[in-house]
Amino acid sequence: MDTVRLNSAVDHAVQHIITLSHGTTILHPVMEELVGLSRSAGVRYYNLVGRVKHKLETEHGIFLNTHLKVGYVLCPRGEEIKNITRQYDGGVKQILKSVFRGSSIRVDLIGDATSRNNTVQELQKMANVAGLTLAGGRSLK
């Protein structure tokens, strides 16, 4: 799909979706029809849907929740933060996992002093970010 057709498909889907009420479910076959691309196209389909979701969020303040194997639901007003919080929590968990994995590096076995110092500095930066994130008050369940 060339850029003009791609943008046209995104605009078409967005114009249709903004007319729907919040809480409406958009099944995958309907989304396929809106974007003009089948799910069997794989990554291309999901990239296109991602562009539609991005445009809906940034230009219209509409969030789509993904329901696996079903489709998408227009997030009811006031519940948008649940989407963002879930994504944020996942990011925080990734930071903490990375710091934990980094603590397993045997710095004492790194022979090159420059590499050892760089490793220690990077690990310290990661630990600082993790500490500040946790100190910010976001508790993970």
Residue 33 lies in a domain: yes
Q: Which of 19-23, 38-42, 60-64, 79-83 has the lowest mean pLDDT?
A: 79-83
* Co-location of 25 and 66 in the same domain: yes
* Co-location of 59 and 104 in the same domain: no
- Give the pTM: 0.69
pLDDT at 82: 83
Q: What is the DSSP letter of 72?
A: E
pLDDT digits (tens, 9 = 90+) for 35-55: 998 888 889 999 999 999 999
* Co-location of 11 and 62 in the same domain: yes
Other CB atoms within 10 Å distance of the CB of residue 73: 16
Distance CA 29, CA 33 (A): 6
Range of the domain at 48: 3-74
* Co-location of 62 and 85 in the same domain: no
Of the pLDDT bands very low, low, confident and very high (cuts 50, 70, 90), residue 137 is low
* Co-location of 35 and 59 in the same domain: yes
Residue 42 lies in a domain: yes
Q: At what angle do helices 43-55 and 28-35 cross, to 10 degrees?
A: 80
